[in-house]
Amino acid sequence: MSAVIEIEGLRKTFHSLRNGRRVAVDGFDLLVEEGQIHGFLGPNGSGKTTTLRALLGLVRADSGRMSVLGEPSPELLPRVAGRVGAIVESPQFFGNFTGYRTLRLLARAGGVPVSRVDEALELVGLRDRGDERVKGYSLGMKQRLAVASALLKDPRLLILDEPANGLDPAGIREMRDLMRSLAASGVTVLVSSHILGEIQLICDHVTIISRGRRVAAGRVDEVLAGHDRHEFLVRVAEPERAVELLHAAELTAVVDSDALVVNGVTDSTVISRVLGEQGLWVGELTPLRPDLESVFLELTGAGEDPSVPRQVDHAAPLPGAEGDPIDLDVRGVDA
């Protein structure tokens, strides 16, 4: 498969008189191949939006190499811009324009046939509301309009930053179906989102960013497998005795509420055999597979101590990072 987006060693530092120097992206790598629905995850202020902005030529990278659809970005981005649909954060539209007029203006500016406007409105479910003014739209409708603006070009690559913002459950589902159908038609999708369940449902690949660096990347199932502790939930009549028996068999087990959690086991039949041989019959034996949320929280350290309010950019130290080289005093800005 050919690479649709390639980022190598992207670094971006922001300077301001008030806040000084802030490294937003620090040697970040990203590879998105053709046909993927690629999830892009990271806590607030981790550098997701800065990465997307740099890729789309909206901020100047300090260093690194980027390409979009095979063309170096941002130098030759105009060559492929007609095939890249993107929304970065929530775009603002003129409130006194109708949805249709908003898209028509963009179509004109981008040299896209105006006939595409109706198709895009139809795709995002705004066909019957296209002649209403944008200022009357709900947040979810504005988000749909933003997605419609990205779809106007009939893109080969779709970059969506938080597309589910403001959408109701039905809207989220429609957005998921839309992304799937686009991917099925050959469109590569890069989607950043905080709704990890959604990413796990729709994405086949994922890249996780924390403190401006990539902390995980690959197929979703491979990333999850990499964090599988081979744990099983076991329900038996005598949990304490079961723990003793499993320890005697050199297995690690702890009582968790009214059940046991056994880890480090690749073959679950070992558990039932050890307990069954001693007359303890297993009532439930459930593998505890990691989900994207647990992997995300583990990698980014975002859920370390629930009793302490987490500050923006409070993330786990990066593997291999010496000390704390990154000043992440973002103060609420999603960089």
Partner 1 sequence: MNLVRAELERLSARRFVQLMVVLLVLAFGVTAATTLAGSHKPSADELASARAQATEARRGMEMAFQECLARQNGTLPPREPESYYPRDCSEIDPVRSERLPITADYLPGVFSFAEQARPLLYFLIAFLVLFGFLVGASYIGADLNSGGVVNLLLWRPRRLTVLGAKLGALLGSVLALSVLASLFYLATFWVIGQTAGLAGRLSGDFWRSLGAVHGRGMVLVLLASALGFAIATLGRHTSAALGAVAAYAVVWELGARLVLEIVDARRPDQLMLSSHIGAWLTGETRFWDSQLCADSRPGVYCESFYSLTWGPALLVLLVITGGLTAAAFVVFRRRDLI
Q: How far apart are CA 21 and CA 267, in angstroms?
A: 51
Q: What is the DSSP string of 182-220?
A: HHHTT-EEEEE-S-HHHHHHH-SEEEEEETTEEEEEEEH
- How many C-beta atoms lie closer than 10 Å to residue 221's C-beta? 13
Report if residue 4 touches partner 1, rule: CB under 8 A.
no
Question: Under the criterion CB under 8 A, does residue 64 sit at the interface with partner 1?
Answer: no
Cβ contact 76:83 at 8 Å: no
- For the CB of residue 187, give the shortest distance to partner 1 in the complex, in Å: 16
How far apart (Å, rounded) are the C-alpha atoms in residues 7 and 12? 13
Name the minimum Å distance from CB 86 to partner 1: 5
In this complex, which beta carbon is closest to partner 1, that of residue 114 or of residue 225?
A: 114
Q: Does 108 bind partner 1 (CB under 8 A)?
A: yes
Q: What is the 3-state secondary structure (H, E, C) of 93-112?
A: CCCCCEHHHHHHHHHHHHCC
Residues in 26-55 at the binding interface with partner 1, rule: CB under 8 A = 53
> Rule CB under 8 A: is residue 105 a binding residue for partner 1?
yes
160 touching partner 1, by CB under 8 A: no
117 binds partner 1 (CB under 8 A): no
Q: Look up residue 48 and give its amino acid.
A: K
Residue with tokens 């779709």: 158
The CB-of-118 to partner 1 minimum distance in angstroms stands at 18
From the list 9, 35, 64, 91, which residue makes contact with partner 1 (rule: CB under 8 A)? 91
Location of structure tokens 């593997």: 319
Can you tell me the distance from the alpha carbon of 207 to that of 131, in angstroms, rounded to the nearest whole number?
39
Q: Does 109 bind partner 1 (CB under 8 A)?
A: yes
Q: Does 86 bind partner 1 (CB under 8 A)?
A: yes
Q: Which of 7, 23, 41, 56 binds partner 1 (CB under 8 A)?
A: 56
- Chain positions contacting partner 1, by CB under 8 A: 14, 53, 56-60, 74, 77-78, 81, 86-89, 91-94, 96-97, 101, 105-106, 108-111, 149, 153
